[in-house]
Amino acid sequence: MSERAAPFYCPYCGDEDLRPHEQGHGAWLCGACRRAFTLKYLGLVFADAPADEPATTPTTSAKEGQ
């Protein structure tokens, strides 16, 4: 993985005119809306179940509850 992964578009206006900003690592400047923003990689998140399968919850039958 590279040290600087570039975003593809501005999260505010959606334009693709992005440049590194001098405010530090992960800072970007949008040339269209002139907003400066930072990005931070937090890590990987693994779900308990695959996304295409609904999560199941345990159920009890009426006989088991008596």
Show me where the domains of the chain are located.
Answer: 1-41
**Cα dihedral 11/20/33/40 (nearest 10):** 30
In this prediction the pTM is: 0.55
User: pLDDT tens across 4-50, in order?
Assistant: 567 899 999 999 999 999 876 789 999 999 999 988 878 888 877 66
More confident position, 7 or 58:
7
* Per-residue model confidence (pLDDT) at position 1: 45
- Whole-angstrom distance, CA of residue 38 vs CA of residue 19: 12
